[in-house]
């Protein structure tokens, strides 16, 4: 797998002091839960201006970020012949109970990429109704153990009752 494009972006983030975490299918792949990466999803809490500055000579497009069910601050896409890279600012998803902020947590490093939280992405996939991906992550968390701090941060969000119960069972 060619990581050159995503690593070029993450190296710029590192140089600019921008914290990011890889999620989505890249996280699933790094954890050994899927056999292919569809695209690279990078989340960050950094403001749009800082991210745009870090990417100043890389072509990117700004995409809708608040299109339901999403409620993120911004979304940028860097097209690549291998795999596109999506950068999501202040990742958030609507739930039946309100907007859930899915904070960027770095939990490990894989091939020089900061990897995100399985707990955050299990919740995100549940909120997106991508149940098979959510189940892969919940199974992984049950096997490896949950990060209690991250689970507690998720429980502070307006989650649907079924997801809240599922997360509480991990503690």
For the chain, percent helix, then strand, then coil, each to nearest 5?
40, 20, 40
The pLDDT of residue 127 is above 80: yes
Question: Could you tell me which of 101, 93, 168, 114 has the C-alpha nearest to residue 138?
Answer: 168
Write down the pLDDT at residue 82: 77
The pLDDT of residue 143 is above 90: yes
pLDDT-derived band at 50 (thresholds 50, 70, 90) equals: very high
> Tens digits of per-residue pLDDT, 94-118?
999 999 999 999 999 999 999 999 9
Provide mean pLDDT across the span 55-62.
93
Write down the pLDDT at residue 68: 86
Question: Could you tell me which of 104, 102, 31 has the C-alpha nearest to residue 70?
Answer: 102
């Amino acid at each position: 797998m060619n990581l050159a494009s995503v690593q070029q972006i993450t190296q710029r983030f590192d140089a600019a002091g921008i914290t990011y975490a890889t999620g989505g299918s890249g996280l699933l792949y790094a954890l050994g839960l899927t056999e292919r990466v569809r695209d690279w999803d990078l989340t960050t809490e950094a403001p749009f201006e800082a991210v745009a500055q870090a990417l100043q000579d890389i072509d990117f497009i700004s995409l809708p970020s608040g299109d339901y069910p999403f409620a993120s601050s911004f979304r940028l896409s860097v097209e690549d012949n291998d795999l596109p890279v999506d950068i999501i600012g202040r990742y958030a998803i609507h739930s039946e109970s309100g907007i859930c902020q899915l904070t960027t947590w770095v939990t490990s490093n894989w091939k020089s990429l900061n990897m995100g939280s399985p707990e955050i992405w299990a919740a995100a996939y549940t909120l997106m109704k991508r149940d098979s991906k959510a189940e892969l992550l919940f199974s992984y968390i049950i096997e490896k153990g949950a990060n209690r701090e991250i689970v507690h941060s998720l429980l502070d969000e307006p989650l649907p009752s079924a997801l809240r119960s599922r997360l509480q069972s991990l503690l």
